[in-house]
Structure 1
Amino acid sequence: MSNNASEDFKRFFRIISFILFIIYLMFLINVLFLDEKYGRVTGVKGYNLEFFKTIKNYIKYSGTNTIMRNIFGNIVAFMPFGFFIPVLLRKTRHLIIMILLSGLMSLLVEVLQYHFAVGSFDVDDIILNTVGGFLGYLIYKICYYIYYGFKYLHIQK
C-alpha cells in the first residue's frame, strides 16, 4: 500500500470511527438515562459506596439473567469507549490514561444518574465500567498491532 493510500485509509477509518463513536454515545445516553426498559428505578436517589457490595448481592441473590444484564452489561457498555477514544485522540493511547478516562467517564455517568434520579450511584458500576474501558482498550491495542504488524511484514516482502 502506498503512503498516500495508507494515509487515506487512516483518515477514512478515523471518520468512520468518529461516526460510530457518536452513535455509541447516543445509544449509551439512551440506555443510561432515558430508556426505562432496562430496569432503572426513577425518582429515587440511591447510592452504594461499598466496594463489590452490589456485585456480591447479584451473585448471591440473583439469577443468571440479572447477573448478565448488570455485571456484564456494565462491562460491555464501556468497551466501545475504550476502543474508540484512542483511535480518535492520539494522546490517550496509553493504558493508564485510558483506565483513568474510563473511570472518570463512569464517575460522571454515576453522578449524573444520581443527580437526575435515574438509577443510583454505585461504586461497583464504576469498577465494572472501568474494566469495560480497559477491555475495549486491549481490543484497540490488538487491532493496532495486527494492522501495523501486518503492514510491517508486507513492506519486508
Structure 2
Amino acid sequence: MKKETKQRVLSAVLLLIYVTLLIWIILFKMSFSMSDLTVTRYLNLVPFGEPLVVNGQTDYSEIIQNALIFLPFGLLLSMVLPRASFLSKLFVIVLASLSLEVLQYVLAVGRTDITDLIMNSAGGFAGLIVYDLLELVFRSKSRLNKLLNGLGYVTAILFIGWMIYLFFIA
C-alpha cells in the first residue's frame, strides 16, 4: 500500500472517530443513557442573540468552543478529500453542522441555535484555512498528513482515556 493511501486510510479512521465523538458530545451531551438527557426543544434563529448567561453574566465561551470543536473537521476533511474543492469541503462542514442542529431539535436533546451553526461552520472553515497554510509551510502533503494523523491519534487516545476516567473511575 502506498504511503499516501495509508495516510488517507489513517485520516479516514481518525475522521470516523472524530465524527462519532462529535455526535456523542453535541447530541448526547456525553451521556451513556438516553434517560440522562433532559428533554428540551428550543429554537433560536437570532444570530448571537442569546448567549449563555451564567450567574447573571454573559458567557461567550460556548460560542468560542463551538468554533474550536469544529476546527479538526476542516483539517480532517482536507486530509481525507485532498482533491475536493475548498467550497465542497466547506459545504460538507455546513451540512454536518446543520444536520446536528436539526437533530437536536427533532430529538429534543438540546438547544437548536443559529449561532451554533454559524460558529461550527466558522470553526470548520478555519480548519480548512489552517490546513492550507500548513501545507504551504510543510510543502509536502504527505509529511503534513503524517504529523496531523499522529497528533490526532494522540489527542483521540487522551480524550478517550479522559472520558473513561470521568465515567468509570472518578
* Same-fold status (TM-score > 0.5): yes
Runs of at least 4 residues off by over 6 Å: none
Deviation for aligned residue 1:146: 2.6
Report the counterpart of residue 84 of structure 2 in structure 1: 92
SS in 2 for 1:90: coil
1:103 Cα shift? 1.6
- Written as runs of structure 1 = structure 2, the 5 A alignment for 1:14-33 is 14-33=8-27
Which position in structure 2 is the counterpart of 1:48? 44
Tell me by how many angstroms 1:90 deviates: 3.4
Letter in 2 for 1:62: Q
Deviation at 1:86, TM superposition (A): 2.2
- Root-mean-square deviation (CA, aligned residues, Å) is 2.8
Quick one: distance in 1 between partners of 2:29 and 2:141? 42
Provide the secondary structure at the position in 2 that maps to 1:111. Answer: helix
Q: What is the TM-score when the length of structure 2 is the normalising length?
A: 0.69
User: Would you say how many aligned residue pairs link Structure 1 and Structure 2?
Assistant: 137
Q: Choose from 48, 57, 62 the match for 1:62.
A: 57
**Equivalent AA in structure 1 for residue 50 of structure 2:** T
- My pick for the range that moved more, 99-108 or 43-52, is 99-108
Q: Specify which of 111, 122, 132 is matched with residue 123 of structure 2.
A: 132
- The runs of 5 or more residues in structure 1 that have no matched partner are 1-6, 152-157
Please state which structure has a larger fraction of its residues in strand: 2
CA distance in 1, matches of 2:12, 2:30: 27
Question: Normalised by the size of structure 1, how large is the TM-score?
Answer: 0.74
Note if 1:111 corresponds to 2:106.
no
> Per-residue deviation at 1:41?
6.9
Structure 2: distance between partners of 1:104 and 1:58? 28
Which of the residues 1, 7, 18 maps onto 1:13? Answer: 7
Q: Using the alignment, how far apart are the partners of 1:111 and 1:27 within structure 2?
A: 18
Paired residue secondary structure (1:45): strand
Are the structure 2 counterparts of residues 24 and 36 from structure 1 closer, same or farther at C-alpha, using a change threshold of 3 Å?
Answer: closer
2:2 aligned counterpart, secondary structure:
helix
